[in-house]
Amino acid sequence: MSIRVLIVDDHAIVRHGLCRSIQQQEDMEVVGEASDGHAAVSMARELTPTVILMDVSMPALNGIEATRAVLRESPGSRVIALSMHSAKRYVQEMFRAGASGYILKDCEFDELVQTIRMIAGGQTYVSPSISRIVVESHACDGDPEEKENAFSVLTQREREVLQLMAEGHSTKQIAMHLYISPKTVEAHRLRIMNKLDIDNVALLTKYAIQEGLTPPEP
């Protein structure tokens, strides 16, 4: 039976290139392409892919939050982070979200294909260049002296609101996007500012980019 692959990336040229290459593998089938985290969640629920190639930095809903949501909706699927980022915070949080693999976008295609097969077979995989980060992250888990970050300080909903704020969405737009009331958005905004001790949007945006919640402006 073919390995069913869902490709999630906000760049169309990346999705299409991966799709063409993966489709050439006799044991693989691309069942869908999603351009953002929200689409990934709904497509994973509908298509139940074997493996999901998940970009980490995407607007509206980043790959870390999308991975959490995807695995709730499609627990039989396995996620491979496919990212240009090798920083510890991205690697660490993707694995905490439930990813089974993390591979960098500058890898050879043969490495990606082998990773897909390994993950589909129940194994895990990390690009050799970032394996040290994974070891260090496991060693730090549960360490009370580990530096706090957005994923430990803010709730999932607060992170979603912060990402949308940082991307320039208004209170009304955020409310529509998350299917909550503007009043609830304002309450989340206030809690975010209090928790982070940051009282202006420019600094909140900088914080969201530093923490990997939203991609920096190209």
The mean of the pLDDT values for the chain is 89
126 and 159, same domain (yes or no): no
200 and 96, same domain (yes or no): no
What range defines the domain where residue 158 resides? 150-210
User: What CATH number is attached to the domain comprising 189?
Assistant: 1.10.10.10
65 and 118, same domain (yes or no): yes
The full DSSP string for 124-141 is -EE-GGGHHHHHHHHHHT
Global model pTM greater than 0.85 = no
- DSSP 8-class letter at 103: E
19 and 123, same domain (yes or no): yes
116 and 194, same domain (yes or no): no
pLDDT, tens digit (0-9, with 9 covering 90-100), for 22-74 = 999 999 999 999 999 999 999 999 999 999 999 998 988 999 999 999 999 89
pLDDT, tens digit (0-9, with 9 covering 90-100), for 147-180 = 678 888 999 899 999 999 999 999 999 999 999 9
Q: What average pLDDT does range 5-19 have in this prediction? A: 95
Query: Does 145 map to a domain?
Result: no
- 45 HSE (CA, 13 A, CB side): 12
* pLDDT value for 133: 66
Residue where one domain finishes, among candidates 120, 140, 160:
140
Asked whether residue 197 carries a pLDDT value surpassing 80, the answer given is: yes
Residue where one domain finishes, among candidates 140, 171, 199:
140
* pLDDT value for 131: 76
180 and 114, same domain (yes or no): no
217 Cβ contact list (under 8 Å, min separation 6): none
pLDDT, tens digit (0-9, with 9 covering 90-100), for 109-151 = 999 999 999 999 999 999 887 876 666 655 455 554 456 788 8
Cα-Cα end-to-end distance for the chain: 40
Residue where one domain finishes, among candidates 117, 140, 163:
140
Higher pLDDT, 209 or 193: 193
The structural domain count of the chain equals: 2
- Which residues, in sequence order, are bridge partners of residue 46? none
Asked whether residue 192 carries a pLDDT value surpassing 90, the answer given is: yes
* pLDDT value for 141: 56
69 and 126, same domain (yes or no): yes
